Amino acid sequence: MKRSLGKVGVALALALTVALPAQALDGTALLKQLDRNLTPNSYESYRKLINIEPSGARKEFTLFTVKKGLDKMASLFIAPASEKGRSTLRLGDNMWLLIPNVGKPIRITSLQSVVGGVFNNSDIFQLDYTAEYNVERVEEEGAEYLLQLKAKTKAVAYDRLKIWTDARRMLPTRIECLTEAGMLIKTLYFKDVKDFGGGITRPAVIETDSPLYKGYKSVIIFAGIKKRDFKDEVFTLTFMPNIESLR
C-alpha cells in the first residue's frame, strides 16, 4: 500500500501533515480565552480615562465599573467633580446615561462618547468580544495569532476587528477597528501587562489613536480589577442611581 502511493502520494501526505496545526486552531475558543484573560466573567474595576489633545491639553475621568456575564455592564463617574455621580448602563447593544437630578436615564449609542476624545461608548463599556463578533479567520504570525473578526449585527460599532494576540499569554497587543469596506477607524494598543492579583494578569494600559482624529490620543489606565459577583438587579435602569452603594 505504501509503495502504491508513489512520489505524488508521499508529497500529498506531507502537505497534509504540515497543514494540520493551522487547521487545528479553533478561533472561537481562542477568542473566548482572550476574553477571560482580559476580564473575569464577573468583576469590578477602577480605571482612569485620559483624553489628550494636539496642544497637549488633557482631561481626565475616573470610573468605577461592574460587569456580569457577556453583556451586562454598569459604570459610575467618580471624577472630575463636574461628572461625579453620572452613571451608565449597558445591556447588550442598549446603553443609557443617567445624569444626577436631571430625570430618567437617556439612551446613548455605541458610536457616541460620554467623555469625548477618541474612545467611543463601545470602547469604554466594552463587552466580551465573543458577545459581538464571530471569528472568520486565524493566522499565526511568529509569536502572535491574528484573529480576524466580523460583527454579528449591524448594531456593533465596528464591522470588523483585527486582533493581534500574544500566543503565550493569550492577551491582545493591538486591535485595528475597521468599517465593512476595510477602512481603518482606529487602533487600540494594549500595554504594560500587570498582575492584579486573584489570577488576573492583563494589560493595565490601553491607548488609541485614529486617522479620523489626527493628533488626538486617548488612554485607559486600570488601577484595579478583581472578581466579584453581582445580582442581576444591579444591571437595571432602576438601580442606576444606586451604583455608588457598590463601592
- For residue 18, being part of any structural domain is answered with no
- For residue 19, being part of any structural domain is answered with no
pLDDT digits (tens, 9 = 90+) for 90-129: 999 899 999 998 889 999 998 899 999 999 999 999 989 9
- For residue 7, being part of any structural domain is answered with no
- For residue 11, being part of any structural domain is answered with no
Residue that the C-alpha cell 443617567 belongs to: 98
- For residue 8, being part of any structural domain is answered with no
Domain count, the chain: 1
Q: Is pLDDT of 135 > 70? A: yes
Domain span at residue 232? 26-246
pLDDT digits (tens, 9 = 90+) for 12-27: 444 443 433 444 689 9
- For residue 96, being part of any structural domain is answered with yes
- C-alpha–C-alpha distance, residues 91 and 57, integer Å: 33
Looking up residue 143, the CATH number of its domain turns out to be 2.50.20.10
- For residue 37, being part of any structural domain is answered with yes
Identity of residue 33: Q
- Pick the closest to residue 234 from 42, 100, 99, 94 (CA basis): 42
pLDDT of residue 101: 85
- For residue 155, being part of any structural domain is answered with yes
Sign of CA dihedral 80, 196, 97, 237: negative
pLDDT of residue 102: 84
* Contact predicate 42/68, CB 8 Å: yes
Q: Which residue has the higher pLDDT, 218 or 17?
A: 218
Residues 6 or more apart from 38 whose CB is under 8 A from it?
A: 171, 172, 202
Q: What's the whole-model pTM score?
A: 0.86
- Pick the closest to residue 27 from 182, 139, 157 (CA basis): 139
Specify the DSSP element, H or E, that contains 31: helix 27-38
